Structure 1
């Protein structure tokens, strides 16, 4: 059966800076720290629904950061214990994607820099690293936008042998944050621990394949099987060159809920999900956990 994706007219992106200092004049703090192209774009949005900033004492905050996690455990703990929350909220027409969330997050990072605070992505409930802003016109989905990461095996007694193709079904991966691009979240479940990275890379590539759809509101009927290409995987990482030489990978989309799609093997594959992950995918999907994007030369 075909799958229907309904893209809304508007989306919302939200970030919070957890800090212990009074932010003072937020607008000045933001515009002084953003690079020129970012500052020019943000200055036109501040005070409109596309970019609203608000400061609250943590005790009165509308945002609960008590369960924030992050790769840097110290930053996550600082976010949980902070005394002030500065929110950055952006309500956007979907035609303003992905630049709108990109600018909202840059604003949150600028506030974090000014206060020595911790920026938190509300979609993933994770503390974000404060890294250089990069180029205004560069957007890379791999840059902490989908909130899906490689998990530890949830069961310390997992029976799977390292070489077993179908030894368990411990791993369940779900994106967190595609909704701010007007798209349903994606999930892949019942994956054996030895294939967790391959499953994560299939999730990443599918997200990238669907991303352009989020700029067009309304109902979109998708074929049950979606063809994932090497350029899709490259685009996720911000690479210009293909990352595998073989042809496209068919994946089957299933409607799990109105706001979530599942990823399964194509209907004509005779084996299990884990046999498909093991037998049918290019080797790089089993190997690549992360990589740096290509950067366009300055203009």
Structure 2
């Protein structure tokens, strides 16, 4: 039986989006309210309008040169199209959308800031930048990522999986769990042939860990710390849920989480105990022979 990990709970979480405007908006707040009311479905619309009418969400419009430059190289690395990059580089003004909220359900800071930036961006035909990533969000991606009437979202629209080559394989980490107050997941020395299936496993694990985290953050008084299991099982159902689909298969494999505090806090993902290596875990989870993973 594994032990528990104790994770600190941030007091407040923040979200920032930027809209690269070709010309300044005469009344950014009024434009945001009109466009959110027209483009956003309830119940999200009510949440966003409530945030707009509170100090928890602010709009800051300035000439583009008054803000720190947006990192064009990172925007390109995360898939920005040349026309969008050109529009960002040629913007006369930026509208920064900032939101703050406590950890827990719903992540009102992220949902509201993204909805406001998306509504203003659509009205002005202007690119929307998720500053956290950083990533330019296409209109279809942005609309799809927002919750429907049941509050469900695809976690893969909010959490990315960048990977970099290292001496003994690849380093894979999530980028997005920090939006919800969690440390990011990471694995070192992932063999080249396992990058794709291990990434899928990490997507499912991110969904499982996020659910465990949010279940410990009830509405009301905010705890200072939360405990989650050190050993967590992940299965095809979790992988499917992270992508917004369903899977009936209940097969699972266990992994061990270790808190790495050598830099920004992260959760290192390893096989549980003396269990199978990454290749064998991929094969067991996705029911493929381990040899193709090499």
Q: TM-score when scaled to structure 2? A: 0.80
Unaligned runs of 5+ in 1: 156-167, 287-299
Shift of 1:249: 1.4
User: How far did residue 154 of structure 1 move?
Assistant: 4.5
Identify the residue that residue 228 of structure 1 maps to in structure 2. Answer: 234
Give the drift of 1:218. Answer: 2.8
Deviation string 1:176-216 (CA, Å, 9 cap, x unpaired) is 22112111111122111211111111211111112231461
1:245-272 CA distance string (max 9 Å, x none)? 2522101111122621111111121x54
Alpha-carbon deviation of 1:97? 2.8
The answer to whether the 8 A contact 2:232-2:257 is kept is: yes
1:223/1:95 CA distance change after superposition, 3 Å? closer
Q: For the residues of structure 2 that align with 1:41 and 1:272, how far apart are their CA atoms?
A: 45
Unaligned 5+ segments in structure 2 are: 218-222
- Report how far residue 112 of structure 1 moved: 0.9
Structure 1 pair 172/138, CA: closer, same or farther in 2 (3 Å)? same
**Inter-CA distance 31–246: structure 2 relative to 1 (3 Å threshold):** same
Cα distance change on mapping 1:79 and 1:203 into 2, 3 Å? farther
The aligned length equals 267
Q: How many angstroms apart in 2 are the aligned matches of 1:266 and 1:76?
A: 43
C-alpha change, 1:95 and 1:195, in structure 2 (3 Å) is: closer
Give the conservation status (yes or no) of the 8 Å contact 1:15–1:88.
yes
Maintained 8 Å contact 1:226/1:250: yes
Larger helix percent: 2
Counterparts in 2 of 1:88-127, with a 5 A limit? Answer: 88-127=97-136
Superposed displacement of residue 224, structure 1: 2.1
Aligned to 2:220: none
Distance 1:172 1:77 in 2: 31
- Report the Cα distance in structure 2 between the residues aligned to 1:249 and 1:63, rounded to whole angstroms: 44
Counterpart residue number, 1:159? none
Distance 2:49 2:16 in 1: 18
CA distance in 2 between partners of 1:15 and 1:130 (Å): 14
Range that drifts further, 199-208 or 65-74: 65-74
Q: CA RMSD in A?
A: 2.7
TM-score, normalising length from structure 1? 0.78
